[in-house]
């Protein structure tokens, strides 16, 4: 595979609005359903009032009752439910030890990290900007009273940075229970990473692909590990040319759709390859969200007006759906699925379901990232 010369890297900016209108129209049709489920999402965002040690104390009381011994002095006998039952708002969630989330300085990533941290879990935030990442981690620690929130520098555009990040995680943690590949960009013009790869494809696909594969030993050490990839309904517009993955023909939405198609394809491939292990892999379209991706699409926002604002979701709303994939016990055995913002399983595009193309993309990605 050959990379373009420096002279060919100057490309004209193409319109960013042309393929998004079909997606907005489909999203508008589900807006009513999205609003009807907002109440259930709100419960996911609220931190639980009790300490995580409540379940441990309940288990001790149950063991004491079984053995005929007295309950500990600090036990609370006012709860008539089974002593082994989790608190009401925790019943649907799995208490995990380590959760990794990329791109958490703002938007969906920040709100998802806040939800996970509010459940008392260890959260490691992976961000390119170390200073902004530390500020976000400090804010979440203050909001959730969870001291186990930290930031680790990881630039997904630089494969060397991804490798250093994975090495640090594997050195400090024997197992990883949740990996949320959230970080993404929508570049307004053609640019290349330091590794010579088109920047949108490098950040949105190859960086997360390498990170996930390098963390496989820790994911396999978990009793139940989950990989959650943030995709997009725009993947239905994506096309992949395996003979020229690093094409000089560039369009903002074309490049973004291609990277999101790669996300969905590799999610399905990962789920199939690890179907008989403790790892599940799913992806989700979070909806049209007001995040930092949108400055590249300001002409779209001006042209769309009320229509765009009508279908747009807040980062907190989308984060609750992402947290559902990461935490809900209902999905403990669900893998290889593509979810809508309303937490429903949808069928991805025919191109995404093509197993031959999945294998081709996986092989090409291994070569581009140095795994093969």
3-state secondary structure 219-273: HHCCCCEEEEEECCHHHHHCCCCCCCCCCCCCCHHHHHHHHHHHHHHHHHHHHHH
Of the candidates 93, 192, 250, 256, the residue annotated as catalytic is 256
Q: How far apart are alpha carbons 233 and 348 in whole angstroms?
A: 8
pLDDT band, very low/low/confident/very high, at 247 (cuts 50, 70, 90) = confident
Q: Would the pLDDT of 255 be above 80?
A: yes
Supply the pLDDT for residue 254: 94
Query: Mind listing the pLDDT tens digit for each residue in 28-86?
Result: 555 444 444 444 443 443 444 443 444 444 444 444 444 444 443 333 333 333 333 33
The pTM score is: 0.75
Q: Is 256 a catalytic residue?
A: yes
Quick one: average pLDDT of 186-199?
95
User: Of residues 7 and 141, which shows the higher confidence score?
Assistant: 141
Supply the pLDDT for residue 155: 98
What structural domains and CATH numbers belong to the chain?
6-47+91-369 (3.40.50.720)
Q: How far apart are alpha carbons 125 and 180 in whole angstroms?
A: 10
Residues whose CB falls within 8 Å of the CB of residue 319, separated by 6 or more in sequence, listed in order: 45, 108, 110, 111, 112, 114, 115
Task: Supply φ then ψ for residue 237, to 5 degrees.
Answer: -95, -5
- What are the angstrom distances between the C-alpha of 257 and each of 124, 143, 189, 240, 246? 28, 35, 15, 10, 14
Q: Is 200 exposed, middle or buried (0-12, 13-18, 19+ CB in 10 A)?
A: buried
Query: Mind listing the pLDDT tens digit for each residue in 274-326?
Result: 999 999 999 999 998 765 555 445 555 555 545 665 667 899 999 999 999 99
Residue of 77, 80, 37, 46 whose CA lies nearest to 60: 77
């Amino acid at each position: 595979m050959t990379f373009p010369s420096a002279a060919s890297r100057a490309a004209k900016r193409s319109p960013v609005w042309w393929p998004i209108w079909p997606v907005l129209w489909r999203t508008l049709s589900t807006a009513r359903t999205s609003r009807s489920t907002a109440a259930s999402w709100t419960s996911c965002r609220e931190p639980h009032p009790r300490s995580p040690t409540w379940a441990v104390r309940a288990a001790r009381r149950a063991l004491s009752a079984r053995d005929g011994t007295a309950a500990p002095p600090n036990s609370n006998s006012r709860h008539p439910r089974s002593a082994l039952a989790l608190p009401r708002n925790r019943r649907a969630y799995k208490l995990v030890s380590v959760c990794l989330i990329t791109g958490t300085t703002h938007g969906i990533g920040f709100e998802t990290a806040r939800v996970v941290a509010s459940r008392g879990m260890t959260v490691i935030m992976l961000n390119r900007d170390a200073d902004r990442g530390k500020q976000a981690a400090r804010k979440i620690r203050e909001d959730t009273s969870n001291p186990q929130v930290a930031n680790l520098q990881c630039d997904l555009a630089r494969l060397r940075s991804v490798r250093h990040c994975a090495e640090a995680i594997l050195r400090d943690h024997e197992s990883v229970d949740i990996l949320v590949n959230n970080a993404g960009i929508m570049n307004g013009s053609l640019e290349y990473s330091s590794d010579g790869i088109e920047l949108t494809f490098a950040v949105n696909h190859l960086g997360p692909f390498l990170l996930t594969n390098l963390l496989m030993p820790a994911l396999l050490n978990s009793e139940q590990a989950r990989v959650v990839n943030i995709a997009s309904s725009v993947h239905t517009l994506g096309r992949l040319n395996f003979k020229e993955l690093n094409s000089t023909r560039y369009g903002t939405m074309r490049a973004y759709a291609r990277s999101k198609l790669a996300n969905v394809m590799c999610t399905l491939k990962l789920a199939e390859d690890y179907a008989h292990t403790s790892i599940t892999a799913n992806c989700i379209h979070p909806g049209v969200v007001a995040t930092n991706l949108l400055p590249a699409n300001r002409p779209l926002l001006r042209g769309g007006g009320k229509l765009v604002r009508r279908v747009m979701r807040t980062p907190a709303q989308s984060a609750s759906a992402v947290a559902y994939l990461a935490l809900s016990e209902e999905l403990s055995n669900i893998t290889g699925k593509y979810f809508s913002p309303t937490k429903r399983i949808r069928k991805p595009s025919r191109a995404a379901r093509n197993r031959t193309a999945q294998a081709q993309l996986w092989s090409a990605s291994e070569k581009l990232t140095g795994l093969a």
